[in-house]
Structure 1
Amino acid sequence: MCGKRLKPILNEVLDNLLANGHLHGSPQAIENLRHISASSIDRLLKHERKKLEIKGRKGTKPGTLLKQQIAIRTWAEWDENCSGFMEIDLVAHEGGNSQGDFAQTLNMVDVWSGWTELVAIKNKA
Structure 2
Amino acid sequence: MCSKRLAPFLPGLVDALERHGELTLPAKMRALLVQLSPATIDRLLAPTRQRQRRQPITQSAASAALKALVPVRAFGEWTGVTPGSFQADLVFHCGEQTAGFHLTTLVMIDVASGWTECRAVWGL
TM-score (norm 1): 0.45
State the structure with more CA Rg.
Answer: 1
